[in-house]
Amino acid sequence: MYRRLGFGALVGAALAVTACNTGGGLVSANNPLNPTPAPSAAATPTPTAAPTAKPTAKPTATPTAAACTAPPPDPNISTITLTGAQQTIAVPCFGNFTSSASVPASNGKGLTVALASSSDQNLGGVPDASYGTPILYTSLLPSAAITFTSSTAPIATTLTSTANIGAPHTYAIQVYVPLLGVPIETVTGIHPTGHSIEFGVAAPGGTFSAVEAVVIVYQSS
């Protein structure tokens, strides 16, 4: 509609200019030394309707895939929404690492958890070289405190990497809280099964507070 009005206004302006210069009552007298016939009225063009632009479909967001088929952003981020029931979530992949976690049932229906993964950015975590070489950092930040139905149920996590995990190496993890400046959980002596390791992230007292926690994974030997 706006394009038709704009075109109509333009045509009206052109016609007004034409009337002022070609027979609209304001034509100057002929030069007697070089008489010229009075100009005839110009033909009035017939306006045509401007084509209506077709709306284009709005693209939808593509969720982060469980495996990195192309180099991801660094860090790779995503946000998951809790259902309140036990659910399995895909942790953002990074490089050769893929991960999933089983979140226990909780009172957190509708709450979100922001996730980020990187192998070269510590995301606020402070690694401890005595546990080995850090190979992956994953941060978790709930939108509000989450209380799990079971006070002892961990977030069971599986981490896989065909290039970075495998025998004869052993692995360790720490859960570091930047706000406190200390790790609140350490698990050592984790042995791989094929190219995967499994570990549990425990919420102290069964409650995951609304503060960032960074899981640091080490190759210990």
Domain boundaries, the chain: 1-55, 76-219
Average pLDDT over residues 143-172: 96
Condensed to tens digits (0 to 9), the pLDDT of residues 91-139 reads 999 999 999 999 999 999 999 999 999 999 999 999 999 999 999 999 9
Condensed to tens digits (0 to 9), the pLDDT of residues 67-100 reads 688 888 999 999 999 999 999 999 999 999 999 9
pLDDT exceeds 90 at position 40:
no
DSSP string spanning the chain? Answer: -HHHHHHHHHHHHHHHHHHHHTTSS-PPPPPTTS--PPPPPPPPPPP-PPPPPPPPPPPPPPPPPSS-SSPPPSSEEEEEE--SS-EEEEEEEETTEEEEEEEPPBS-TT-EEEEEEESS--TT----GGG-EEEEEEEEEESS-EEBSSTT--EEEEEE-TTT--TT--EEEEEEETTTTEEEEEEEEEPPBTTEEEEEEPPGGGEE-SS-EEEEEEE--
pTM above 0.85, yes or no: no
